[in-house]
Amino acid sequence: MANIKWVYGFNEVEAAEKQVGGDWEAVRALMGGKGANLAEMTRIGVPVPPGFTITTEACNAFLAAGEQFPEGMWEQELEALKEVEKETGKKFGDAANPLLVSCRSGGKFSMPGMMDTVLNIGLNDETAKGMVKLTGDERFVYDAYRRLVQMFGSVVLDLPGEHFEDVIEKAKKERGVADDTGLTAEDWRAITERFQAIIEKEAGIEFPQDPYEQLKLATEAVFASWNGRRAVDYRNAAGIAHDLGTAVNMVTMIFGNMGETSGTGVAFTRDPAAGEKVLYGDYLINAQGEDVVAGIRNTKPIAELQQDLPQAYAEFADICQKLEKHYLEMQDVEFTIEQGKLWMLQTRTGKRTAQAAIKIAVDMVSEGLISKEDAVLRVEPGQVDALLHPQFDPAAKAAAGRLAKGVNASPGAAVGRLYFDADTAERMAREEGQDVIMIRPETKPDDVHGMLAAKGILTSRGGATSHAAVVARQFGIPAVVGCDQLEIDLEKRAVKAGGTVLKEGDYVSLDGATGEVFGGQIPTVDPSFEEQTDLITLLGWADEISAQEGIRDLPEGSPTRGLQVWANADYPRDARRARTFGARGIGLCRTEHMFFEEERLPIVQRMILAKTDQERQAALDELLPFQRSDFEGLFEAMDGLPVIIRLIDPPLHEFLPSYEDLLVEMTELRLDAERGKALPSETLASKEALLNAVEGMRETNPMMGLRGIRLGIILPGLIEMQVRAIFEAACNQALRGIDVHPEIMIPLTGHVNELNAVQPQLQEVAQAVMKEKGTEVEYKFGTMIEIPRAALTADRVAGVAQFFSYGTNDLTQMTFGYSRDDAEAKFLLEYVEQGILPGNPFQVLDRDGVGKLVAMGVKLGRQARPDLEVGICGEHGGEPSSIEFCYTAGLNYVSCSPFRLPVARLAAAQAAIRRPALVV
Amino acid sequence: MANIKWVYGFNEVEAAEKQVGGDWEAVRALMGGKGANLAEMTRIGVPVPPGFTITTEACNAFLAAGEQFPEGMWEQELEALKEVEKETGKKFGDAANPLLVSCRSGGKFSMPGMMDTVLNIGLNDETAKGMVKLTGDERFVYDAYRRLVQMFGSVVLDLPGEHFEDVIEKAKKERGVADDTGLTAEDWRAITERFQAIIEKEAGIEFPQDPYEQLKLATEAVFASWNGRRAVDYRNAAGIAHDLGTAVNMVTMIFGNMGETSGTGVAFTRDPAAGEKVLYGDYLINAQGEDVVAGIRNTKPIAELQQDLPQAYAEFADICQKLEKHYLEMQDVEFTIEQGKLWMLQTRTGKRTAQAAIKIAVDMVSEGLISKEDAVLRVEPGQVDALLHPQFDPAAKAAAGRLAKGVNASPGAAVGRLYFDADTAERMAREEGQDVIMIRPETKPDDVHGMLAAKGILTSRGGATSHAAVVARQFGIPAVVGCDQLEIDLEKRAVKAGGTVLKEGDYVSLDGATGEVFGGQIPTVDPSFEEQTDLITLLGWADEISAQEGIRDLPEGSPTRGLQVWANADYPRDARRARTFGARGIGLCRTEHMFFEEERLPIVQRMILAKTDQERQAALDELLPFQRSDFEGLFEAMDGLPVIIRLIDPPLHEFLPSYEDLLVEMTELRLDAERGKALPSETLASKEALLNAVEGMRETNPMMGLRGIRLGIILPGLIEMQVRAIFEAACNQALRGIDVHPEIMIPLTGHVNELNAVQPQLQEVAQAVMKEKGTEVEYKFGTMIEIPRAALTADRVAGVAQFFSYGTNDLTQMTFGYSRDDAEAKFLLEYVEQGILPGNPFQVLDRDGVGKLVAMGVKLGRQARPDLEVGICGEHGGEPSSIEFCYTAGLNYVSCSPFRLPVARLAAAQAAIRRPALVV
């Protein structure tokens, strides 16, 4: 151990690199982020106050040995201090020309809850007097001294901060002044003494006058704070490993408060809000670093430093350029100017808004700083999403009173008046031109017309994949769902949230990105995709990267070698939007959504309630033209690209009134009749017939009931009509010169024999239509893989299906046995909170379980059919981590709602660049 | 081809064996079952009429060549005929001493739809005259001749049989006689001529006078009939390969109708009904074979042949002995005696009842004929099942009028009066002592008291694993479920089936083994297990075999190397029954069933509706003694054996009134209130509170909702109470000297973290109780594997769980995405009917999908924990094919309802003997 180097001067970064084998990440792990950056700046010639770093390894050794410094460490620390003395020409503990240092912790990752900073180490009663002589500024010196004692007490000895603050408050009161600046040198000296007495009383030790003792205790305190409760809790929550340890940095004190040629500031090398290439920050003349942050005095914009201290400004601007070129990233820096001399105290990658992240990445490519791949990796997919939805003005939102918080189901800001049912919501929006927020305990398919007319959707039940959430995301409508603090009273048309009661017509504001609900109207800003030229540029690069990428382990003959991004779109208008947003195909068109439209629903109900095959066929014949015309629009919008159309999926009772409503109505009618109220006799009979029909269709677990291909087998006329409509539309458009690529998707297959039972029949319909129309179109028949058994037997299924599309919503339901209508509210969110699940598997694909089935299905399927086209059309298709998984599992495309396309295109390209290994 | 031997004399079986390499199955494939057995009898010296077989290979060659005999075949057939002439001393086509033969088809498997038999080939106008001279019996000869012509026309030429029957009918009318015996020689001659004319008219050919032409056409006709429509349909339905081909047997005609020393009969070598070792059959003197079967004359029991023809009888009895010793199986034989000389015409394995199968198998072991393994393989597990349930008297059942047919959910016969709800059913049974059939559209857990009091259960909804079905099988109560031809009117307390209406109190009879429902009372017979000594002997051997078996591919340290049979039992009385039926442990005790008992349910409801933790804990404290006393009984009954107790599984709303009922009640109360009817105000309020509570607990898909371990995590007090009750009971009994082995099973695990969240807590409870009681008991904690994800991640789950028990009911639901409450009635039975599924996967485990998950889970689980105990406790644990799968997958035990134990023990032993390979 004696031979181990525990301490590195800021000018020894090469030695550290050598120690860890030249890897910069390893240097950061050894010296901590702050220490590594200070050393790195030193290496490239940026002025950094002399200092040194005690490594994270020393911390770990200290903790492992029961809080004992490892052998040789303290000696190395003293040695390093001597080097600093040499460089600065000052001497630690020397009253004549004292060296003061700050002690700062700094691990690999920035971490609240760790011991932070102790300033002015080296001051004691003697050196303080020396400093007074040296600077002639007694007030400055005793202010500095009391800061040391105060920080030592609160930070090193962990005494409550109030002990010290109370003293200052009392002093100010006695002096009759409002703030610290009113206190004199004498006051600070008295306060310093008082602080020392507090330490003696509360911690039972004397404030150490020996500077080396100060140094040692500060070092120990930083090390020990790694295992403090707050730090451990934070690491548990943030998923940071407990064995990293923290480094300790000892940095020569620089004083920005030594007169009008001194100052201090923080700045970004580019505008972190808009991304423009201008210095962005604030500074103060004659002040210390914490004063800038504390907001005690009004800071000046960084540009004005050019007037105040032109030379220092010029040097600072050069250094910023230099740092950007060196780090190839926008930097967030701290600096201090001591009597005209500029010192850099910190540099790190700067945080930025989504818009800035994109602009900076794109600009840096133009500037030749980074590659397109780098640019694509620089932007978090989640940031992009926020850019496409209306957003609240941040200041106005911060000022607004929050009423409740629910599940952040669909991002974006929405402001409007509350309406409690779909019909009213639609009427108010369409006829009165109001901005509407539709509020319901939960939504159902027949609420869709109201939802589509609304600016936002609010429910008190359901989770992130409830009907309300899915529809909202599909159409890019902001939504907060499962907001169980709301007590909705549908009868009274009112909702209670905490103490507040809102009535129908009252304004609310929803933030779908955070799940927050506010009373009243918060101003919003509404972005447009077309105007976001930087984003469009970046996504163009992303697509290039995804398309170039051709070395995934896919069999020869696979339809695409990169991961494409397609869209889920049910209507022509969605398809057009999807194309604008860069979709390479439609991965899912849900044909049943078309059935809910107002003029069609009665026909659908007639079809369902038909008593004879003839009646049923008549209704189907009426539906066909509607479906055909929708498909014609889709094909036109997607000219040249594939369009996957899923045959009807939901159980039929979704198209009928609810059983419970009918039951109540029927009971009322029955009691009326019993009490002799005259009723048209057919009212009771027809209501009873409807009730019986709905009862006959009820299912205990409809999710696992008669729907999808099961319905197609029991009621073949319905899907035959759909296939006829698809091919009539395709042929009509082909004859008009449109390049159509229909792919018919059969939902809910669990056994290959289900496909065997319907697919040949449907293919006959397709052939018949093409013959009638006298033209041929290319087409495929394929299936959703959403039942575990289909994935387990994918080799057999692929013997019949020409393509697979993973319906990971249902696959997640079945694999976990979680009903997505119930689980989130009943236990799933609780599971996530308790850490039983790492996340909500309906949002982020569960790789260990569901992912294993997906990967197994891809492998088995391609064994049977090497050119099998495989995609995903569940909610996960728009979620970055899930997209990465899809890439590794060898899928050909992900399909997501149009608004998620930019996110997905970026995530797909990032996966292509990172090439993670498949681990299931 | 010319060198191929196409034709084998009955005395050439060695040559056939040599040809196919000595394998008897291959001889049967080559010569067909009938031909092979005739040849085999010839070899062992049993008198068989001389004859020969034309092989199935010849048939296949004939069909492949476009219905041309293969080269050399016809020559070989003529050659073989010459051999027969030599042996019999007669000559084919010789008027002086004509040889007549019958032509009979016979493939490897007996097959209706094939051309069957043509008798008397060789007769023509000339040989007929010769026969008359020879026998002096003109009537006999022309009756024989007309039979040849008739069969030739209908069988060889495929003319409609009525053409010929009409002629006979007309002749009888003209003669004024009632049956064939009234027709004279002259009549038969005229009829023969008439038949020949019909052939000429209808088929356009002359009836061939050339006997060789007859022979050739008959041979061709048998071959061609292999591809006839009826034969092809039959093979498709029965799963017989189409490339087997049929053989043709030409057998010298023997006449049992040549006077009082002639006769014919059919017999079994043992009693096929009771299994006694006595000859069992019928015969007729002076008759032909078809007369015995046709039932035209009254046959005599075979024993009387001893008086009629003592020498022939003695020879026949010897031959039967000889055949049994040779085939080592009870035989079903046909014989003819021609003028005192006995000829055997057929022998084959005889069909028998379940009881006979068991007795014969056991007797044959005592007689030293077969081994115990053979005996175990001789009995179909399904047959054993039938023996343990009451059965209808077959004749009475045949005479009864069937009302409807549903799903055969739980075997056994039941007779009783219909009652339409559980309370009435229970009252009528308990107070009035009536035999009750409880009828409901479907049943729910709170119907169980009525079901337990009933003799039989009848529902119009639900399938083979509906609540009604599962409970019925569990308790061995006969049940017919999902009988959708029944229209149940609960208001009118009546049920309509077709035209019949039955009212409350009317008698019905159910056959749970067939799913049939009859009006009125059919007499039943009620077997007892203890009295079935042969069955007990056989099952003892089965257990020996299962236990000896020790070479399955299981890791060292596995708890058992053979497949054991355990039982699902919730109550001490079930456990005692299970022990009687041979259970080696309890694989599943469903603790929640105890909650439904009358005095406990109100406490359970109080626990569920508790508003405070205190209220809830108070209710739990009240429940604990009930649970403890149930467990004490279980441990006592299973002294020395493991008892797996599953913690609460169903969602809580199952213990509350139904939402729909409450909704109707509430609507009624509301309307009453609106109309000013005076109500105690708390009635409305408390009903509303209950409705709200139930509504709050409602789930869209309860099967995938808040239940099992999820409920345990959300409501930890409940399962802690259960674990406390288990350990208090175990310790109490251990202190009394009982050897207890509790194993606590956690249901519905999907993620190992769920176990991590509850198991340590529960183990603490266990430790605490043992400390309180001052004793230690051995125990295990384990989990159900019923969620696909648990099987997919079984390695992680086994890191915590000490045992797995596959809940294949739920695993089948999730893997297929089939709700078992809905699927069977809505589409599953239709799927089975259409052949989309090979069977109902809730009855027979689906090896390709569910089985793949099971096998994967076993493998992964044992990787993590080599001594992992793995069993199955779903319905499949009592089903033979599923048990075979469990054996191959390496499970340690199957657990089934007590009544299925004999079936399962037999099936387990059969798997151990057959050792099938694992194919998933």
DSSP string of A860-912, one letter each residue: HHHHH-TT-EEEE-SGGGG-HHHHHHHHHTT-SEEEE-GGGHHHHHHHHHHHH
From the first residue on, what is the mean pLDDT of each consecutive set of 10 residues in chain B (920 residues)? 86 93 92 95 97 97 95 96 96 94 90 79 95 91 94 91 90 86 91 96 94 96 89 78 93 91 93 89 84 65 94 97 96 94 93 88 97 95 79 84 86 92 91 92 82 92 73 79 89 90 94 90 83 94 84 64 91 93 96 86 93 94 95 97 96 89 88 78 81 88 94 94 98 98 98 96 97 97 98 98 97 96 84 88 96 97 95 94 95 94 96 86
**Greatest pairwise CA separation for chain A in angstroms:** 110
B669 touches chain A (CB under 8 A): no
The three-class DSSP label of residue B807 is coil
Phi/psi at A704 (5° precision): -110, 30
* Option in A675, A789, A816 nearest B750 (CB): A816
Residues B713, A834: C-beta atoms closer than 8 Å = yes
Query: In the sheet where B407-410 sits, what is the strand order?
Result: B402-405, B516-519, B507-511, B413-419, B436-440, B456-459, B479-481, B407-410
B91-117 residues labelled b (16+ CB within 10 A) or e (exposed)? bbbebeebbbbbbbbbbbbebebbbeb
Distance CA B247, CA B222 (A): 8
Q: Which helix (H) or strand (E) holds B823?
A: helix B823-823
Q: Which two tokens stand for residue B633?
A: 């009984």
Cα radius of gyration (chain A): 34
Distance CA A422, CA A427 (A): 8
Q: Residue with structure tokens 């603090």?
A: A485
Distance CA A904, CA A874 (A): 13
CA atoms within 13 A on the CB side of A485: 16
Contact assessment for residue A909 and residue A842, using Cβ atoms and an 8 Å cutoff: no
* Option in A667, A701, A846 nearest B703 (CB): A701
State what percent of residues in chain B have pLDDT above 90.
68
Distance CA A511, CA B260 (A): 106
- At B220, which amino acid appears? E
Average pLDDT taken over every residue of chain A: 91
A810 chain-B contacts, CB cut-off 8 A: 817
By C-alpha distance, which of A393, A81, A368 is closest to A219? A81
ipTM of model: 0.82
By C-alpha distance, which of B885, B881, B890 is closest to B860? B890
Interface test with B, best of A465, A826, A833, A834 (most B CBs within 10 A): A826
Distance CA A807, CA A709 (A): 14
Catalytic residue of the set A873, A876, A886, A896: A873
A810-828 residues labelled b (16+ CB within 10 A) or e (exposed)? bbbbbbbbbbbbbbbbbbb
Q: Compute CA A645 distance to the chain's CA centroid, rounded to the nearest angstrom.
A: 31
pLDDT, residue B633, reads 96
Q: Which two tokens stand for residue B111?
A: 């097959």
The three-class DSSP label of residue A452 is helix
Q: Greater confidence, B773 or A918?
A: B773
Distance CA A578, CA A563 (A): 17
B630 touches chain A (CB under 8 A): no
B787 touches chain A (CB under 8 A): yes
DSSP string of B132-173, one letter each residue: HHHHS-HHHHHHHHHHHHHHIIIIIS---HHHHHHHHHHHHH
Kindly identify which residue of chain B lies nearest to residue A674, measuring between CA atoms: B668
Q: Kindly tell me the burial class for residue B241, based on how many C-beta atoms sit within 10 Å of its own C-beta (0-12, 13-18, 19 or more).
A: exposed
Residues B850, A789: C-beta atoms closer than 8 Å = yes
Contact assessment for residue B854 and residue B808, using Cβ atoms and an 8 Å cutoff: yes
Phi/psi at A565 (5° precision): -120, 120
A751 touches chain B (CB under 8 A): yes
Tell me the Ramachandran region of residue A761: left when phi exceeds 0, alpha when psi lies from -120 to 50, beta otherwise: alpha
| Predicted confidence (pLDDT) per residue in A819-840, tens digit | 988 887 789 888 987 889 998 9
Give the per-residue SS3 of A580-632. Answer: HCCCCCEEEEEHHHHHHCCCCHHHHHHHHHCCCHHHHHHHHHHHHHHHHHHHH
| Predicted confidence (pLDDT) per residue in A369-409, tens digit | 999 999 999 998 977 877 777 788 888 888 888 899 988 87
Residues A753, B837: C-beta atoms closer than 8 Å = yes
Residues A817, B750: C-beta atoms closer than 8 Å = yes
**Does residue A580 carry a pLDDT above 60?**
yes
pLDDT, residue A113, reads 66
Neighbours of B799 (CB within 10 A): 14
Contact assessment for residue B651 and residue B676, using Cβ atoms and an 8 Å cutoff: no
Q: Compute CA B29 distance to the chain's CA centroid, rounded to the nearest angstrom.
A: 27
Active site residue ranges of B: 467, 873
By C-alpha distance, which of A647, A643, A624, A646 is closest to A634? A643
Alpha helices in A3-159 (DSSP H): 13-20, 24-43, 56-64, 73-88, 125-135, 138-151
Task: Write the CB contacts of B488 (distance below 8 Å, at least 6 apart in sequence).
Answer: B420, B439, B440, B441, B460, B495
Distance CA A328, CA A373 (A): 13
Phi/psi at A259 (5° precision): 115, -170
**Does residue A555 carry a pLDDT above 70?**
no
For the question of residue A741 being annotated catalytic, the response is no
Distance CA A521, CA A418 (A): 12
Distance CA B357, CA B274 (A): 8
| Predicted confidence (pLDDT) per residue in A862-896, tens digit | 999 999 999 999 889 999 999 999 999 999 999 99
Task: Write the CB contacts of B517 (distance below 8 Å, at least 6 apart in sequence).
Answer: B402, B403, B404, B405, B406, B458, B480, B483, B486, B497, B508, B509, B510, B511
Contact assessment for residue A308 and residue A285, using Cβ atoms and an 8 Å cutoff: yes
Neighbours of A860 (CB within 10 A): 18
Neighbours of A219 (CB within 10 A): 24
pLDDT, residue B555, reads 65
Distance CA B74, CA B56 (A): 14
Sign of CA dihedral B750, B751, B753, B755: positive
The three-class DSSP label of residue A675 is coil
The three-class DSSP label of residue A744 is strand
Q: Residue with structure tokens 């860890």?
A: A20
| Predicted confidence (pLDDT) per residue in A14-54, tens digit | 999 999 988 999 999 999 999 999 999 999 999 999 999 99
pLDDT, residue A465, reads 57
Interface of A with B in 847-876 (CB under 8 A): 848-850, 852-853
Bridge partner list, B439: B458
Pairing of strands A486-489, A479-481: unpaired
**Does residue A551 carry a pLDDT above 70?**
no
Contact assessment for residue A758 and residue A772, using Cβ atoms and an 8 Å cutoff: no
A797 touches chain B (CB under 8 A): no
Cα radius of gyration (chain B): 34
Residues B787, A815: C-beta atoms closer than 8 Å = yes
A787 touches chain B (CB under 8 A): yes
Query: In the sheet where A436-440 sits, what is the strand order?
Result: A402-405, A516-519, A507-511, A413-419, A436-440, A456-459, A479-481, A407-410
Kindly identify which residue of chain B lies nearest to residue A826, measuring between CA atoms: B706
> Distance of CA B374 to CAs A749, B24, B365, B869, Å?
43, 18, 9, 30
B748 chain-A contacts, CB cut-off 8 A: 817
| Predicted confidence (pLDDT) per residue in B257-316, tens digit | 888 999 999 899 998 878 999 999 889 998 887 666 555 567 788 999 999 999 999 999
